[in-house]
Each structure stands twice: as C-alpha cells, then as structure tokens.
Amino acid sequence: MSKIADTLSKLNIELEPYEARLVAISKTKPSSDIKEAYEAGQRDFGENKAQEMTQKYEELPSDIRWHMVGHMQRNKVKYIAPYVYLIHSVDSEKLLRTIDKEAVKSDRIINCLLQVHIAEESTKFGFDEAELNDLLENDFLKEVPNVRVVGLMGMATNTDNEAQVIREFQGLKLLYDEIKEKYKADNFSLKYLSMGMSGDYPIALECGSNMVRIGSTIFGERNYG
C-alpha cells in the first residue's frame, strides 16, 4: 500500500466512531498525489486557491467533491462557482452576495460554511459571535437565496496550549448548537461543524467536530519554496 493510502486508511479508522467526514487538504500538492488518494477511495479534497483548485478540477475525476477552505477574494468566486461542493471560508456579507450572484449564473445552490473567528491570532479570518448573530437575526440570508448555509468552520490558535485549543473548539461547538436551533430560514440548515487540522484534529473531534481538514498528515509537509 502507498504511504498516502496507508495514512488515509488509519485516519478513516480513527474518524469512524465520530462519524466525521475527512477532507484531504491537497493545496500545493500535485494532482498525482490526489490521484493516489482518490484511488484509495478518498473523494473530498480541499484547496485554498481558486485557480489551483480549478486546474486540478479540470485534470481529475469528476466525482471529486471540491472544498474551498482558504480566504476568498470576491473576484475569484466565478472560477469555482460552477463546480465547488462546499465553501468553508465564508467570512463576510459581501462575499455571501458574490457567491449568491455567481451561483445564480451557474444555476446552482452553493453550500457554504460561515467561518467563525475563534483563535487568538488576529490573522485568522471569520465572523465573531456578535457579527454572526447580527447576520442571522437580520434575515440577511433571505437576500442570498442561492446560498445555503450548512454549517460553521473555525481554526484554533496554533499553540501547544491544549487547554486553550479545547476552549476555542468547545466555544465554537456551543455556538453551533445554539444558532442551529435559534434561527430558521429556508437556506439555513446546519449539518457540518468543520474544525480540526493535522495538529489538532483529535481534540476537535472530542469537542464535537464532524468534518476535519487534514493536509500534511496525509500528503507530507508543504514546501512553499
């Protein structure tokens, strides 16, 4: 068995009790690596750049589910709108409007996660809790009917302080449970809580994640050269 296939099989065993979906984050990695994972049965892949994802989409099998996990510039949405499976990194009303507009052009409904800022670092994008409540309270989602909000995404602080990571993930899980019940809209139906990466996914699963985004554990360290 190849190293990629072997790692995927171990991860799947680890994820099974949590019924969590594995999104293999393939950014910067060649299509040949993705092909190897695909042949081992993996179908969900994540990228953080629209052009790179689109190029891979064109080269690889059409039943791959492409997840966008990186911060998006609005002028790049048009490249991925025709095929993207789930956008994890939706962090503004403006971006929601653009996704809606491009979804209409592609005659699609685009599934999105709202990214919530849970980390201490100021560099991580996302809504804070108040902004999120504002957006949902004001019926903003009625204005973007071709967007469907199906969950939340968050990234914990990159730290060895496990207690802090637990606190951040638990906070997001609480928020998820709260807004899931509180708000009703035709295009709001929470199913996915996307949290956990190579360094912290075991903690994220314990805190209630049902979708993990794992890159370097599967494909090796990234070399940005």
Ligand X SMILES: *Cc1c(COP(=O)(O)O)cnc(C)c1O
Among 3, 191, 216, 220, binds ligand X (CB under 6 A): 216
Contact string 175-204 vs ligand X (x = CB under 6 A): ----------------------xxx-----
Number of residues that bind ligand X (CB under 6 A): 14
User: Phi/psi class of residue 107: alpha, beta or left (left: φ > 0; alpha: ψ in -120 to 50)?
Assistant: left
For ligand X, the binding residues in 67-126 under the rule CB under 6 A are 69-70
Decide: 72 and 116 in contact? Cβ < 8 Å: no
C-alpha–C-alpha distance, residues 98 and 78, integer Å: 9
Name the amino acid, one letter, at 105: K
If the CB atoms of residues 48 and 210 are measured against ligand X, the closer one turns out to be 48
In the beta sheet, which residues pair with residue 23?
Answer: 213
Q: How far is the CB of 218 from ligand X (least distance, A)?
A: 8
Per-residue CA distances from 88 to 4, 36, 72, 153 (Å) = 24, 24, 10, 6
Contact string 133-162 vs ligand X (x = CB under 6 A): ----------------------x-------
Among 7, 48, 111, 210, binds ligand X (CB under 6 A): 48
